[in-house]
């Protein structure tokens, strides 16, 4: 980190990117870091590979700082930022596939790449890495990183709000096993800065559209499948299902957790039909690794208990593939059911 600290002593051109369909951790980390870098006199552009949920569009710095990359509309401008950048920060992902369609711009840029992340199975593409799988959130690592760069005293309200949003969501509101005492100490520090955590919570979790709630009701009533013999529950949502409820990005965030909450369930999945592929979210409890499952079978990855992937198939083919794998994974699922959740 020392050479990086030295680099940041003079004003640099910086690009910050979260992963595709950024969640509160990816976007909160990106904006928290960008807000801090700007205080240091750096020129910063945050570029999101794709659109993101509306319930995140209040994050401090969001208006001025996030550009959603749209190849047909702003390619030249965004490409220029990458070409001229001294540093590119890749936040909350560790495989360049996760920032498509920006990966080519990252690869071609002469900028030094900085990776800050907490996912498993890191790829080697960065010049500087701050990577810890045991971290509960990338936002936790951003807080530490700012400290390592000598900027702890510059963390102000807006930066603290961004980081709190990332930590709060990635810890499942402080309940997942990775929520260490260290996380609580960081959060205590953020609260001391004076953030309004109740409002942040409400903005992220309690600002549903009527359509979103109806989609939830529909999914629970008509699409939840429970397979007690495999301790598995899943949803499959077609394009038509989503269209019926005027689907907006983020509307299915958290849905998979309802499947996981069914008593006795160890493995949960959500299959969502998108334009030319099926996006899958996996969740598990205990020692069953959905990271390994999604890496081995669904072109994805993530964490042990929360991962995702994609298949370039129809919705039925994707679900059939999942169902056909269950007998193979059954012993591991049963094993996980016997053990207390990992610490």
* 98 is an interface residue for ligand 5GP by CB under 6 A: yes
Q: Which residue has the tokens 């996006």?
A: 279
Q: Which is nearer to ligand 5GP, 120 or 211 (CB)?
A: 120
Per CB under 5 A, residues contacting Mn ion are 25, 92, 138, 170
Judged by CB under 6 A, the residue of 95, 129, 144, 211 near ligand 5GP is 95
Judged by CB under 6 A, the residue of 12, 223, 231, 303 near ligand 5GP is 303
Binding mask 242-281 for ligand 5GP (x = CB under 6 A): ---------------------------------------x
Judged by CB under 6 A, the residue of 53, 250, 286, 302 near ligand 5GP is 302
Binding mask 63-92 for ligand 5GP (x = CB under 6 A): ------------------------------
Binding mask 125-164 for ligand 5GP (x = CB under 6 A): ----------------------------------------
Stretch that binds ligand 5GP, among 31-39, 57-65, 79-87, 304-312 (CB under 6 A): 304-312
């Amino acid at each position: 980190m020392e050479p990086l600290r030295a680099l940041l002593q003079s004003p640099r051109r910086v690009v910050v990117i979260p992963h595709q369909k950024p969640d509160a951790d990816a976007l909160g980390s990106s904006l928290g870091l960008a807000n801090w870098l700007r205080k240091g006199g750096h020129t910063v552009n945050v570029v999101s590979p794709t659109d993101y949920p509306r319930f995140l569009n209040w994050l401090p710095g969001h208006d001025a700082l996030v550009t959603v990359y749209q190849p047909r509309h702003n390619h030249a401008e965004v490409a220029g930022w990458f070409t001229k950048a001294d540093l590119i920060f890749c936040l909350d992902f560790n495989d360049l596939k996760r920032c498509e369609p920006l990966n080519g711009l990252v690869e071609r840029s002469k900028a030094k790449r900085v990776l800050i992340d907490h996912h498993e199975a890191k790829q080697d593409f960065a010049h500087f890495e701050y990577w810890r799988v045991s971290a509960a959130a990338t936002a936790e690592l951003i807080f530490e990183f700012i400290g390592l760069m000598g900027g702890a005293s510059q963390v102000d309200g807006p930066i603290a709000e961004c980081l709190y949003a990332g930590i709060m969501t990635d810890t499942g509101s402080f309940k997942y096993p990775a929520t260490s005492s260290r996380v609580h100490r960081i959060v205590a520090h953020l609260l001391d800065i004076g953030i309004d955590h109740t409002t942040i919570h409400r903005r992220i979790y309690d600002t549903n559209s009527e359509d979103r709630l109806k989609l939830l009701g529909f999914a629970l009533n008509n699409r939840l499948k429970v397979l007690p013999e495999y301790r598995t529950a899943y949803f499959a949502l077609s394009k038509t299902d989503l269209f019926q409820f005027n689907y907006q990005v983020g509307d299915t965030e958290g849905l998979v957790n309802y499947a996981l909450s069914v008593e006795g369930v160890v493995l949960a999945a959500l299959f969502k039909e998108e334009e030319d592929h099926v996006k899958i979210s996996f969740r598990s409890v205990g020692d069953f690794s959905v990271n390994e499952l999604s890496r081995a079978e669904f072109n994805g990855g993530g964490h042990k208990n929360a991962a995702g992937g994609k298949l370039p198939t129809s919705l039925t083919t994707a679900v059939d593939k999942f169902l056909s794998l269950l007998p193979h994974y059954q012993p591991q699922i049963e094993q996980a059911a016997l053990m207390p959740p990992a610490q």
